[in-house]
Amino acid sequence: MAIPEVVIERLPEYARVLSQFESRGREVVSSQEIGDALRRPGRTSAAQVRKDLSYFGRFGKQGRGYNVRKLLEELRRILGLNRQWRMALVGTGRLGMAILGYEGFEPQGFRIIHAFDSDPAMAGNDAGGLRVHSTDEIEEVLAKSPVDIGIVAVPAEMAQGVIDRLVQCGIRAILNYAPITARVPEGVELKPIDPVLHLQSMTYHLKARAGSFG
């Protein structure tokens, strides 16, 4: 039974709302409550939560619901979140430095352990506690000290080349902040982060709406 990718992508959201329930002291929740926390209440989604979870096992108790702590633990196990993941950042310009400084990664177990930049003036500098390596050294550094995930924050023109090299180094998961539609071989995960694409699809709806400012 192949598990749809959309299901995988919802699991971290379930985990996040379960953390919230946990921190509010809830011990048991129903699929309905999880669904309501994620979507506009009223829209179904409770069935979706149950079906999604059913791909991986039977975690609930009929008549009661799900034990928050236990389900959260299961999700973390399924997603592989019970360990540290090592990441390498390529590109230490404005965007790259912001990524280095982002406090949201570490608490979730994601740590940037290498930083690279193609600008020779950058190399050797200290970037948020990391020494910046030249991009030329990617292969060498990653061979000595491998990482699980690559983060690409270089200009558009260089992004595909950098991605190809990371893949060549054995990296199987890449977070791409460059505004290009990148390509990776079968078996490599690539997730684009591009706020502009989101803005550009929102404007479609704004434009259509009467009374928009303008």
Residue 193 binding its own copies, by CB under 8 A: yes
Residue 18 binding DNA, by CB under 7 A: no
Q: Which is nearer to DNA, 39 or 86 (CB)?
A: 39
Q: Which is nearer to its own copies, 58 or 94 (CB)?
A: 94
Q: Token pair of 116, please?
A: 């690279």
CB 13, CB 55: distance < 8 Å: no
Q: Which of these segments, 65-73, 116-124, 129-137, 193-201, binds its own copies (CB under 8 A)?
A: 193-201
Element (H, E) at 72: helix 68-79
CB 18, CB 29: distance < 8 Å: yes
Q: Token pair of 67, please?
A: 């034990």
Q: Which of these segments, 58-66, 102-110, 111-119, 170-178, binds DNA (CB under 7 A)?
A: 58-66
Site residues for its own copies, 120-149, by CB under 8 A, read 146-149
Q: Which is nearer to DNA, 30 or 118 (CB)?
A: 30
CA distance 75 to 21: 14
Instruction: Tell me how far, at minimum, the Cβ of 46 lies from its own copies, in Å.
Output: 15
Counting Cβ atoms within 10 Å, is residue 165 exposed (0-12), middle (13-18) or buried (19+)?
A: middle
Sign of CA dihedral 88, 91, 93, 98: negative
Among residues 80, 110, 111, 105, the alpha carbon closest in space to that of 8 is found at 80
Interface residues toward DNA, by CB under 7 A: 4-7, 29-32, 43-48, 50-51, 53-54, 58-66
Interface residues toward its own copies, by CB under 8 A: 8-9, 11-13, 15-17, 20, 37-38, 40, 78-81, 83, 85-86, 94-95, 97-98, 101-105, 108, 110, 146-149, 170, 172-173, 175, 179-181, 183, 186-187, 189, 191, 193, 195-207, 209, 212-214
